[in-house]
Amino acid sequence: MKILINRYKYFLVLVAINIVINILFPSVGQKSLDITWANTVDMLSVIPPIFILLGLLDVWVQRETMIKLMGEKSGFLGVFIAFFLGSASAGPLYAAFPVAGVLLQKGSKFTNVLIFIGAWSTTKIPMLLFEASSMGWKFMITRFFINIPGIVLIALITENLLNEKEKKYIYDNTASLN
């Protein structure tokens, strides 16, 4: 029981806060519950397809193939694949992290995984098309070409700021997700 409470302590604190708000300020509490319910439904519509795709990725793509395509010696090809996977994605950013975990488990280079997350968050094709239609092609292209070096730069800086022990810790934690 103690382990269960410790695992869900933040959730339980938020439930307690929601109850207090509901008692003290019923209209605000109701709005908070409505927003919480909408977010829960949104997550439940996104997470199952992501986990199905993760299962397929895990089964269909061999570790050796992933190491060859996105591993330490993948070079520009690994960066390109990371950008493509992130840009071709759909869904909110929180869906990228389980995919990133599988990429790390399969032997992807840490920098490539960071590039994948950066591309998912800023260069998604559906977002670019919406941006072009609402803000114009010039704005969309300018932002896109500014983001690409920014994503690579952030990934490289992050890679260099982490020491080997910290990277090993990250890889080990993704291995324990199974």
User: In tens digits, what is the pLDDT along the chain, a chain of 178 residues?
Assistant: 788 888 888 988 988 998 999 999 999 989 988 998 898 888 888 788 877 877 787 788 888 888 898 999 999 999 999 999 999 887 888 888 988 998 999 899 999 999 999 999 999 888 888 999 999 999 999 999 999 999 999 999 999 999 999 999 998 888 776 6
My answer on whether 79 and 120 are in the same domain is yes
pLDDT the model gives residue 45: 84
Same domain as 65, residue 21: no
Is 111 part of a structural domain of the chain? yes
Asked whether 57 and 90 are in contact (CB, 8 A), the reply is: no
In a domain, 41, yes or no: yes
Structure tokens at 15: 């439930």
Whole-angstrom Cα distance, residue 174 to residue 28?
Answer: 39
Residues in CB range of 22: below 8 A, 6 or more apart: 29, 30, 32, 33
For the chain, the domain total comes to: 2
Q: Are residues 65 and 39 in the same domain?
A: no
The residue range of the domain holding 75 is 61-175
pLDDT at 26: 92
Q: Look at residue 115 and tell me if it is in a domain.
A: yes
11 and 81 fall within a common domain: no
C-alpha distance across the termini of the chain, in Å: 23
